[in-house]
Amino acid sequence: MALGKIEICNHALLKVGADTIASLDVSQATDDGVIFSAKLCNILFDQALVETLRSYNWNSATKRVQLTRLAEAPAFKYQYKYALPIDYVRLINLYASTEAYDDTTEWSIESGEVLTDYDAAYLKYVSKPEDVSILDPLAQQAVICNLAMKLAVPMHLDEKLKNNLLTELQTIILPAARSIDTIENKNWDNEESNFLVSRNYSSPII
């Protein structure tokens, strides 16, 4: 069953023995415990989500897009700048064409932009979804555990609970999630052949 943002928050709250919520809108609650839960989830949810998304190339959060080249060029080394998507979380790879060859060209991410010598850039990346229910159930479990870990100390001042949740995340949830996610992704980058790469240089690659 896919979980939405409220359901993920409630699963995390249950893990730390806190009051569950019906909404993240604090004005809709009257109970102090529920208000406290909603306030902390509002503060901590996005951080837990983005940290979890950055920890692995999740299939369910992966996107592909052609980047928009910026008018201003980098001050040195690279020829072009490209703006990253607004929902960007983690770069998986950058390509010069839709053929998606993994060639020898360098790139760098700086200040929310991609710097490269590609005159066109195609990005494969992990995104932050607006609707978290699209995430794989095991990816959602990783978000739940990460959020619960962040809730443990402000709610209960319990470092031991936080450490137990960290252990659960690192040794049980993430390994299982990554293993299944990898199996469901039969994909590899095509490496450009030495012959094709050598055509871009003054002397052949031997």
Q: State the average pLDDT for the chain.
A: 88
Query: What integer pLDDT is reported at residue 205 of this predicted model?
Result: 46
- 124-147: per-residue pLDDT in tens? 999 999 999 999 999 999 999 999
Q: With H, G, I as helix, E, B as strand and everything else as coil, classify residue 127.
A: strand
pLDDT at 128: 98
- Distance, CA of 58 to CA of 125 (rounded, Å): 9
Eight-state DSSP code of residue 134 = G
Helix, strand, or coil (residue 98): coil
Q: Nearest CA to 105 among 90, 119, 122, 118?
A: 118
Under-70 pLDDT residues of the chain: 1, 185-206
